[in-house]
Structure 1
Amino acid sequence: MSLTIDIPEALRDRVQAIAARSNLTPSQVVADALEHGLSLEWQEHFIAQVEAGLKDADNGDFASDADLSALVNKYRPM
């Protein structure tokens, strides 16, 4: 199904920016928002967090074995 809507330029620019940063089409970004209730603000925040994590990984900033063990043991029954 094809649907054409008129949206404000600022909103269109945000959709296009999200699409470019996430390798999705603008239609996929809008469909995701409509199908899953993921606002543009949520999508922008998610992408920013992923990009920050990738930057940390590129810099070799990973959790240590001790950090991972502490996290796993935090939720393990006693």
Structure 2
Amino acid sequence: MFTDLYSNQPGLLAEVKGSVTRENVRMAIGQLADCSRFVVHTTRAILLPSRPRMDLLNLAESQGCVVIRPEGATYGSSEPNLVL
């Protein structure tokens, strides 16, 4: 069982996708649901190359997933309190 990114410090479990399509967001949600059963974590996140449409942000949020995306020279998150 593999995941794209796991950081023990903030308890971040993340799936990385190369585009912001519905299929990729849905796949990431499923992969996170599967992997999260085996890894201690506090946050499940989807790392995307840009901000997705609002309906996809809402989908990720409804499944307990944070969306992380590039924002200038750093990264932004759909969860304002998430420390990256």
In the superposition, the TM-score normalised over structure 1's length comes to 0.26
Structure whose residues are more often strand by fraction: 2
Structure whose residues are more often helix by fraction: 1
